[in-house]
Structure 1
Amino acid sequence: MRMIFGLVLLFGVALAGGAVYMAKNYIGAYQAELARERAAREQVVPTVTVFVADRALKYGEELTREDVREVNWPETAIPEGAFTEMDTLFPPNNPAPRLIVRDMEASEAVLAVKVTEPGQDAGLTSRLERGMRAFTIKVDVASGVSGFLRPGDKVDVYWTGQIGSNDGRKEVTKLIEAAVRLIAIDQSAVSLGEATIARTVTVSVSPEQVAALAQAQATGNLTLSLVGTGDDTIASAIEVDQRTLLGIVEEEVIVQAQEEKVCTIRTRRGAEVMEIPIPCTN
């Protein structure tokens, strides 16, 4: 009987020891997993809710709650002017709609510069940045890049006219403005999606550029050159005249100095003849 009791006691002690060992391993594994989770949380970038377009939005459309959705955006990379609260984007005390003033693609952040204030008109003035002015340039099929211009494109503006005095006038073509932004074609600020021959284009320029373009348009012909998307190169000063175009090099005229004329008289003294210089009279 004592032997049986002793065996049962030993078996119970063994079970208890095994349970303690298993519990210790479980607790250790749990603590290690908890530490890994805490470390992973520390490495996660903090985010903020930002509203983005749920579909492609075009200029002039009305922005509704169904057109936007919330996404988690890295807190350190929030675009300037992004909306982080629904009441800010759609003020409850102002039910007037916002209008789209710049095209947006799906999942693109809705920014303050891309929409109007509630109830504000989405006219041409809403596309002008601070300090900029709208100026209209007359174009045709040749000077307007065959109708392939769209609002939002950038163009270089070239002037062709005559410079110089009456005796030395020459016709030149010169780059006067580089990478100016188009905000309207004819009377439309919306991209029509097909090539149309425009009669006028409206650009966004500074007041100084307005004066330069007005003077250039009054004294010569303006031609536009389309700048490629993403092209960040800066065009240098460009001026071409007919001689440069044809590779004509002006010949250097060498003026030879006239030799000074010397007049002399001859006199004879015995067998010796002497020449005496005298002023020339003719």
Structure 2
Amino acid sequence: MKRYGGLIAFGLAIGFGILAVVLAQKWLAARSTQAQVVLNATVPLTKVVVAASDMQIGTPLTKANLVLADWPQGSEPRGAFNDISAVEGRVAVTKLTAGAPVLAAELAAPGSGAGMVALITTGMRAMAVRVDEVTGVGGFVLPNTFVDIIGVDETRGDKKIAKTILKRIKVLAIAQETFTEEGQAKIVRTVTLELEPKQTEELALQTHQGDIHLVLRNPLEEEPKVEEPKTVAKKAAPVRRVVYRPKPSPHAVEIIRGSKPAETVQFKNANSEEKL
């Protein structure tokens, strides 16, 4: 009996250990289910429209690439939608990630069309310019970056003049792409820029006068506002009315005393008794 005592004790220890593990798993599973039930009972949920798959810029939203997901009520992101029909047909102006809520700020205005047309801000124009590896800053001019445009004037004989003609211009697309992986250089032949109507005329004229170069700038750097000099209107001095008064003419009176010769007396005017 003593010979098998150690083996029996070892077997009992293993059996009790397995039993303890099984009981612990059952207890944890019961606690997890209970916590889930309490959570669902205490936190009200609502539906939010999210992207069903990754979408590139310019992708039209349809029922096929959207889905409704549960979201804690009262914690919905600002600009989120609760109905797929509210966003169906609109176009993404930023890259959408699968599972992320679709926000109003990430979509073009309703009825703005698809593709590049939807990316153009109201009142602006899209213009494509030809570039090479040098003028395109080594391929690091990517969509949604900002550039300054330097024009080289070659119309003045042998002397060339370089001047910044446009500042803080947004890049809409490179070649035919509106999105590339962040930080990835891409050598392209055309860059599409978002310009004001007047700026498109300046850039078109510059492309005929000489070369253009794109200068990549920090998107957080704002162009300083040039304050126009304030002009203070001077208060006009009151106008004095000048009334012309003619100088009084002398008034002569002839006095006759008896047989004496007539005497003439001069007065300042006809109404004055002061003699001259």
Q: Deviations over 1:88-142 (max 9, x none)?
A: 234xxxxxx5553431345354226625758x85222111111111111111010
Between structure 1 and structure 2, the one with the greater Rg is 2
65, 85, 88: which is aligned to 2:86?
A: 88
Superposed, 1:104-115 pairs within 5 Å as: 104-105=96-97, 107-111=100-104, 114=107
103, 110, 124: which is aligned to 2:116?
A: 124
Contact 2:59 2:115 in 1 (8 A): no
Distance 1:175 1:70, change over 3 A: farther
Aligned-residue offset at 1:231: 1.5
Aligned to 2:170: 181
Contact 1:178 1:235 in 2 (8 A): no
Contact 1:140 1:199 in 2 (8 A): yes
| Aligned-residue identity in percent | 26
Contact 2:92 2:106 in 1 (8 A): no
Amino acid at match of 1:67: L
Contact 2:155 2:210 in 1 (8 A): no
Q: Take 1:73 and 1:172, find their aligned partners in 2: how far apart are those partners?
A: 61
Q: Take 1:205 and 1:107, find their aligned partners in 2: how far apart are those partners?
A: 31
Aligned-residue offset at 1:177: 1.3
Question: Any runs of at least 4 consecutive aligned residues in structure 1 with deviations exceeding 6 A, and if so which?
Answer: 73-77
Distance 1:222 1:55, change over 3 A: same
92, 107, 130: which is aligned to 1:138?
A: 130
* Structure with the bigger percentage of helix: 1
Aligned to 1:63: 61
Distance 1:178 1:74, change over 3 A: farther
Contact 2:135 2:212 in 1 (8 A): yes
Amino acid at match of 1:110: L
SS in 1 for 2:160: strand
Contact 2:51 2:96 in 1 (8 A): yes
Q: Deviations over 1:63-95 (max 9, x none)?
A: 35563435458699834xx534343234xxxxx
SS in 2 for 1:126: helix
Aligned to 1:172: 161
200, 222, 225: which is aligned to 1:210?
A: 200
Distance 1:86 1:235, change over 3 A: same
Distance 1:186 1:75, change over 3 A: same
Aligned-residue offset at 1:57: 2.7
Q: Take 2:73 and 2:159, find their aligned partners in 1: how far apart are those partners?
A: 59
Distance 1:130 1:73, change over 3 A: farther
Aligned-residue offset at 1:62: 5.0
Gaps of 5+ in 1: 1-46, 91-96, 238-282
Q: Take 2:161 and 2:224, find their aligned partners in 1: how far apart are those partners?
A: 18
Q: CA RMSD in A?
A: 4.0
Contact 1:116 1:122 in 2 (8 A): no
Aligned-residue offset at 1:61: 4.0
Q: How many residues align?
A: 181
Amino acid at match of 2:153: G
Amino acid at match of 1:213: L
Contact 2:92 2:107 in 1 (8 A): yes
Superposed, 1:227-246 pairs within 5 Å as: 227-228=217-218, 230-234=219-223
Distance 1:117 1:170, change over 3 A: same
* Structure with the bigger percentage of strand: 1
